[in-house]
Structure 1
């Protein structure tokens, strides 16, 4: 495989899952970890991604500045947001996780709605501040440099004291059999706590993430109330998820 082909595959993996490990990339590409490390360093120097210890993260994690038109699969994320926003009612208490799809959801919230929104995400909190009728409450704690969300004991204790009407959650990986999963243990614990802190959990994900897994499980599909993708709810791709008896938008 040519270097240019490897670079395209690496970039797609990083854009899709936000963070990838060198070992996983090497296995997927059937090359050595040293080869992948050199590729990632080159892509980092070219401003295509950010190299971190043991892997790489998407530039989508940066807060300022960002151009929403450059979000990976922006049109699909916007379609998801337009569906999800219909679940939001006036005077609700919401819990919104991090990620570019969550940022798109905020773009769709009507300015007239009065809401209280908790979030552990710095970019999401900043974006929410542009809406005049939303009370924004940031869930503090140790901030993950990779995902720019609060993690650790302080954030978990904070979440144990609330019960939101809806939790809007994103994920790096979702599989009908295994459930939703991530590679970052601290983020997994945060998302578990977010689910527990909500009456209803709505997962927002582009279809490219379907049928993928990572090391650490967050929850079974059955623990979700609603799954929102850019696909039609009756799409054949979603058959296994429909069998889980959850709402699909």
Structure 2
């Protein structure tokens, strides 16, 4: 295969996926790892992509390696989050044993909850306060309190989760990728999310459109492990990967 043809195919794949990985390109283009690395170095040099460890990303797409404070995140995409949260709240039924992950969209969901004949467990401080104020039976995980997101993380939180089996779970995410799944910048938070997700019969990811094609440092679930609740998407790319509810 000619060099120019490889470059064209790499950029086409990058346009679709937002991120490419050396090992995947080696298989796709049936060439050596050293050749792919030379291709990525060249395309990075001429400004066609951004080279990162193990692959490359679109120039306008960088890995998200930090969490914004709750006070900042609460101001972003409010109408989308409200629509998503309001719909998600209707999915809770009598006798459900529900996990609510810490997050701004899950917090908004809590405002719309009406089912009192259910049990709620959360690792979010603000969410726990809201649930209590509404008179719901509420449990909160033990562990370390993370300042920026007000989430409870750590070994104690994971040990507590191992006792539970949830009928439904509602999770926030910082990124959604068809290759890297659901991601978050903080490894400790990812471990808690991963454990809770694995113990949930019917898990939902609550995500506005800004979270799609974004990748953070730590994966806590594969794309097909949960149903995504979002607003109207611009394309059908993710519909082939998992169930999506557009509200």
- State if a TM-score over 0.5 links the two structures: yes
- Maintained 8 Å contact 1:61/1:99: no
Alignment partner, residue 35 of structure 2? none
Q: How big is the shift at 1:247?
A: 4.1
For residue 102 of structure 1, the aligned residue among 103, 106, 109 is 106
- The alignment's TM-score, normalised by the length of structure 1, stands at 0.69
For residue 85 of structure 1, the aligned residue among 89, 97, 122 is 89
Question: Structure 1, unaligned stretches of length 5 or more?
Answer: 1-27, 30-53, 63-69
For residue 198 of structure 2, the aligned residue among 180, 196, 199 is 196
CA distance in 2, matches of 1:180, 1:230: 17
**Matched position secondary structure for 2:201:** coil
Greater RCO, CA 8 A, separation 6+: 2
CA distance in 2, matches of 1:183, 1:164: 25
How big is the alpha-carbon RMSD for the aligned residues of Structure 1 and Structure 2?
2.2
Residues 131-164 of structure 1: CA deviation (Å, up to 9, x unaligned): 12x1000111111122211111110010011001
CA distance in 1, matches of 2:66, 2:217: 15
For residue 243 of structure 1, the aligned residue among 220, 237, 240 is 240
Q: Confirm whether residue 229 of structure 1 aligns to residue 230 of structure 2.
A: yes
Residues 42-90 of structure 1: CA deviation (Å, up to 9, x unaligned): xxxxxxxxxxxx967335279xxxxxxx632211111001221221111
CA distance in 1, matches of 2:182, 2:68: 19
144-153 vs 164-173, greater mean Cα deviation: 144-153
Q: Confirm whether residue 114 of structure 1 aligns to residue 114 of structure 2.
A: no
- Maintained 8 Å contact 1:61/1:147: no
Alignment partner, residue 217 of structure 1? 219
Distance change in 2, residues 1:115/1:143 (3 Å): same
Distance change in 2, residues 1:207/1:124 (3 Å): same
Q: How big is the shift at 1:166?
A: 0.6
CA distance in 2, matches of 1:99, 1:230: 17
- The alignment's TM-score, normalised by the length of structure 2, stands at 0.69
Q: Confirm whether residue 60 of structure 1 aligns to residue 71 of structure 2.
A: yes
For residue 72 of structure 1, the aligned residue among 70, 76, 88 is 76
- Maintained 8 Å contact 1:242/1:248: no
Hey, which bits of structure 1, 4+ residues long, moved more than 3 A? none
- Maintained 8 Å contact 2:141/2:160: yes
Q: How big is the shift at 1:199?
A: 1.0
Distance change in 2, residues 1:59/1:216 (3 Å): closer
CA distance in 2, matches of 1:194, 1:92: 15
Question: Structure 2, unaligned stretches of length 5 or more?
Answer: 1-58
Q: How many residues align?
A: 185
Q: How does 1:131-170 map to 2 (within 5 A)?
A: 131-132=134-135, 134-170=136-172
